[in-house]
């Protein structure tokens, strides 16, 4: 068979489509519809491109200090990486090295099982209940670690902090990762629990609520011992992960608290108006605490809606997977973008109704 038999083969994560046409309405990858903060824009303008001839600070010290200051932490309690994907991958590689399976929901961020397969980590997918919610009691068993996206993606459902604590407290023998990519859109962070539980890691990102998906900035917050072990693995893998520009932009961004809060407020308001609009059209939705809506229509296949919207230049997300095959995940865009989406959906449903007469 030759060299092919020694190649590591995995089924990769499939990201949302990134269309080139700027005139499209892009509601498929949960990016923030608003531009980066003024402070961030100014930091980017002032950045000296000549500095790119030098390696960046491997510790991303300026960014780490800004994040730690924002959350009232010590620098030693923060780890930064190239987006939360990089941070989570480092967490998988660092902390899930035992023989017992790592647990995470059957419907959740679809990179988790990819990393588990890539790093040869045993895992089990724990089914959500019939309402797409996590049941903490389902995690009351021996395991090698737990990963909870909260709010969950793609369902948007939020698990209360007391339920997160129940899971963390029941498993002192392993690390529990809480992936809070969407926590700023209406949820309560589990971050205060890191003072009480040394086995908890809270991961967040600049890609959603901080308007900087293109800069690829993510971070983990945990007891200093966990952060130290994360850094040991990072420095054994790639010391210079973050660009100089990303460090500068991220440090400026997290200091612009007023702009951050205003963008989150606008997105949450638009989310609720859009949810009402979808319900008026006959859609059923989960209770989203994120910057997206998870919707299904009882009379129309999600794939048909997906194809129609794509033909109209409106991109949403659809997965050909069991349990969620008839659901669409719709990013919350601007008010106008969501109005155009509603008009397109109303037209499609009128066509369906006419065809059935």
Q: Summarize pLDDT for 125-176 with one digit per residue, the tens.
A: 999 999 999 999 999 999 999 999 999 999 999 999 999 999 999 999 999 9
The band of 218, judged by pLDDT with boundaries at 50, 70 and 90, is very high
Q: Mean pLDDT over residues 172-190, rounded?
A: 97
pTM of the complete model beyond 0.75:
yes
At 82, the pLDDT band (50, 70, 90 cuts) reads very high
Which CATH code, of 2.40.50.140, 3.10.450.50, 3.40.50.720, 3.90.1150.10, is assigned to 16-34+258-355?
3.90.1150.10
The three-class DSSP label of residue 100 is coil
* Domain 38-255 top-level CATH class: alpha beta
**What are phi and psi for residue 14, nearest 5 degrees?**
-110, 105
18, with CB counted inside 10 A (0-12, 13-18, 19+), is exposed
Residue 354: what pLDDT? 83
- In this predicted structure, the answer to whether residue 74 has a pLDDT above a threshold of 90 is yes
| Class of residue 7 by CB neighbours under 10 A (exposed 0-12, middle 13-18, buried 19+) | exposed
- Half-sphere exposure at residue 168, Cβ-oriented, CA atoms within 13 angstroms: 25
Comma-separated ranges of CATH 3.40.640.10 domains in the chain: 38-255
Distance of CA 78 to the CA centre of its chain: 18
Rounded Cα–Cα distance for residues 281 and 93 (Å)? 45
Residue 299 makes CB contacts below 8 A (sequence gap 6+) with: 282, 352
Residue intervals of the chain classified under CATH 3.90.1150.10 are: 16-34+258-355
- The torsion of the CA quartet 55, 56, 57, 62, rounded to 10 degrees, works out to 160
């Amino acid at each position: 068979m030759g060299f092919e038999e020694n190649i590591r083969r995995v089924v990769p994560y499939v990201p949302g489509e990134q269309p080139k046409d700027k005139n499209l309405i892009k509601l498929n990858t949960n990016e923030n519809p608003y531009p980066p903060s003024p402070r961030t824009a100014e930091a980017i303008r002032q950045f000296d491109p000549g500095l790119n001839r030098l390696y960046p600070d491997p510790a991303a010290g300026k960014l780490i200090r800004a994040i730690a200051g924002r959350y009232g932490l010590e620098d030693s309690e923060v780890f930064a990486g190239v987006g939360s994907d990089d941070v989570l991958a480092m967490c998988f590689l660092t902390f899930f090295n035992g023989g017992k399976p790592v647990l995470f929901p059957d419907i959740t961020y679809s990179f988790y099982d990819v990393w588990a397969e890539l790093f040869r980590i045993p895992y089990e997918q724990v089914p959500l209940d019939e309402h797409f919610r996590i049941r903490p009691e389902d995690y009351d068993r021996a395991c090698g670690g737990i990963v909870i996206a909260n709010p969950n993606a793609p369902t948007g459902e939020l698990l209360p902090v007391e339920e997160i604590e129940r899971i963390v407290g029941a498993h002192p023998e392993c690390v529990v990762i809480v992936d809070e990519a969407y926590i700023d859109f209406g949820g309560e962070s589990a971050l205060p629990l890191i003072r009480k539980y040394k086995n908890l890691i809270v991961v967040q990102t600049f890609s959603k609520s901080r308007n900087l998906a293109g800069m690829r900035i993510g971070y983990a917050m945990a007891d200093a011992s966990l952060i130290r072990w994360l850094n040991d693995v990072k420095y054994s893998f790639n010391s210079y992960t973050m660009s100089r520009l990303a460090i500068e932009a991220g440090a400026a961004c997290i200091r612009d608290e007023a702009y951050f809060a205003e963008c989150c407020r606008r997105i949450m308001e638009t989310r609720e108006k859009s949810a009402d609009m979808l319900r008026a059209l006959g859609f059923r939705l989960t209770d989203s605490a994120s910057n997206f809506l998870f919707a299904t229509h009882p009379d129309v296949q999600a794939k048909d809606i997906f194809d129609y919207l794509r033909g109209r230049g409106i991109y949403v997300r659809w997965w050909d997977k069991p349990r969620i095959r008839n659901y669409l995940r719709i990013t919350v865009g601007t008010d106008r973008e969501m109005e155009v989406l509603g008009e397109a959906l109303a037209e499609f449903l009128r066509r369906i109704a006419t065809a059935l007469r």
